[in-house]
Structure 1
Amino acid sequence: MSESSSTPAAPVIDEATIGDAVDAALAAIAAAATTAELKQVRIEHVGDASVLSSANRAIKDLPKEQKAAAGKLVGQGKGRVQKQLAARQQELAAAEEEAALAAETVDVTLPTDRRPRGAAHPLTTLRHRIEDVFVGMGWEIAEGPEIEAEWFNFDALNFDADHPARQMQDTFYVAPEGSGRVLRTHTSPVQARALLERGVPLYIACPGTVFRTDELDATHTPVFHQVEGLAIDKGLTMAHLVGTLDTLAKALFGGEPVTRLRPSYFPFTEPSAEMDFRCFSCEARNGLDHEADPGCRVCGGTGWIEMGGCGMVNPAVLRAVGVDPEEHQGFAFGLGIERILMLRNGVPDMHDIVEGDVRFSQHYGTEI
């Protein structure tokens, strides 16, 4: 039995074979449409397995007198191919770069936002909404200093000298000791200033930042926001107060709110009350003849949500700012804006409001 040889046949090195290999390579180079295709052409025609590379390796096995001619023939052919590869590579790379630039062209004349779009903080948005409600009723918006004199913050509002709210555990006092200045604990001083500056009749809403020495937790913060209202005129009664707060509750929570007053005590109002409105989240919203959901997180199963303190302005407060309580009467109320936001928008934790995460504001960015 004959034994076949596994040794591959030696490549033929002559002008016809090399010429055909070169022509095939040049044709493939010209046909390549992308740099990726050209890379494949390079592998096939000048790679280790190509005709030209195999012929170049076979030169060492030729008789000495044939090596020079074979080397010249293969070298010139391979040189032509390499030169054409380089030229085509440069041509295709330039074309691809031009196409990429054309595809990614930016019209610099078009208007654009160079910075990511943000959003107003929801407390700011809610404050503006509340202000719009009062302006719509014909009231004015009043503001005052956040560093306030003790007289405006306490004395003018009928707080006794030994009232607990004056103590360090409730109030931030401004150095030096005995300066008589505090960080206001409510926006009521704005009402006293407005009465002294403008006189009566007076209808004002006073939104702003207030400060108390509370620890930051899920429902409290040492820096928060209030809106207080004051109306002083002839013939005002508790009925006007209830109508005003009903209008505000309807604007903030929608529907036809059911409200109630619970007797309470505040130094600056007499009589005083806490105003509640029927829970808007559970079955209690359907009226007094419907039971509240015991598991309701908004009202705690009571069916009522505390809105804020209110009452008729204490005659002592009117006298302190030069208003005759026999001739003019009025009502006042105070609401926490953070509390309204938490109830109205289902914010479970005060930390979400104060930590400054832009994603919290962006969530409310489309509110009108």
Structure 2
Amino acid sequence: MLASLHGYDAVVRVLLAHCSADINQTELKGRVHSINGDLVHNATALWCALDRAHYVVAKSLLDLGKANVNNGPCHPLLIDAIIRERFDIVCFLVENSYADVNETVTNNQSKCSSLMVAAAKGNTQIMTYLIEKGAKLDYRTCIHENTPLAVAVIEGHLAPVLEQRTVSNTDRRAIIQWVQTLCRQQRTTPKGQTILHLCVDSGTSHNINYRLADIRPLIVFPNLSTTRLLLTYGKQWIDLDAINTIGCDTALHVISRCSKRDTNTNPVAIVELLINAGAHVDCVNQYGETPLSVAIRNEIKDFLRLKQIPSSLKCLCARLIAKHQLAYECLWPTQTPLNTFVLLHGGLGREHSCSESDSVSEID
């Protein structure tokens, strides 16, 4: 310990080479004053070398003496370094693969990860470094199941976390690939809602109950950012005019119904985003309602009116076919884009009326 404390690497190597096999010198513990003057109990030779920044000695203890990095005064040495906010020690242990940012946890019952400890301390520099090195953001403590973000909130250090811009190019590419894969699968809920429906529906905030408690206040639906993310990277797989099975509503119908209490975002921005991406403003649901018909907020109504005039020729033709109930189904296969286009411009209302008539006749 004395040789490590004073940085005498040659002495440390000699002692390690001639030490009896029955005595593990590297794990012997004692009391020593830290570089800050604090009295530390249960310190090892490795702890002493790290405390004094004698990294050549520390490397000898680890490589030759097989010193245990998890044998600290109270916690593993990586955790100990984070608690003492010794960024230099953290870098030494992680960069040389002596400690794993995810496997190293506290020795108490909570089993906090290294990132959680950094979040509790509010140390932005260490948090950023650990995240860049792959620290898991969704890790939970054993007792209260807190995440690193929750720990930061509890300890009053939320601001440093939110200020981070730690997404690397590799992480960014991974997120884009994940979004594209999700859109490519074209999944729907039992109610026929596409992922686009979910992004613009206020009910999503209540229905997705498996989201982390600390994330729910931050990601509220309808959500402009998630909608923009989908349309930017997954538009080729998204049907903007897809209908659900609740009332044959498109995503534009859903967001047009949005009231002031439903969201803290600007729904007009989402409406504009959908229309600019190619969503039809004159699609009708099974009740013959357009997005304008179901709109609640005046600003949404005004915006939709501006976008409705003039209608395109193909939309006018589709509405005319549906209005006069022409038997277009016999002219081409049912499952075609053209058939779907006519359905969305009035055909759904006709099908709904027919189904209600059939139900009445069955009762009679």
Fold conserved between structures, TM > 0.5: no
Higher strand proportion: 1
Higher helix proportion: 2
TM score, norm. by length of structure 2:
0.17
Specify which structure has the bigger relative contact order, considering alpha-carbon pairs within 8 angstroms and separated by 6 or more residues.
Answer: 1
- Rg: which structure is higher? 1
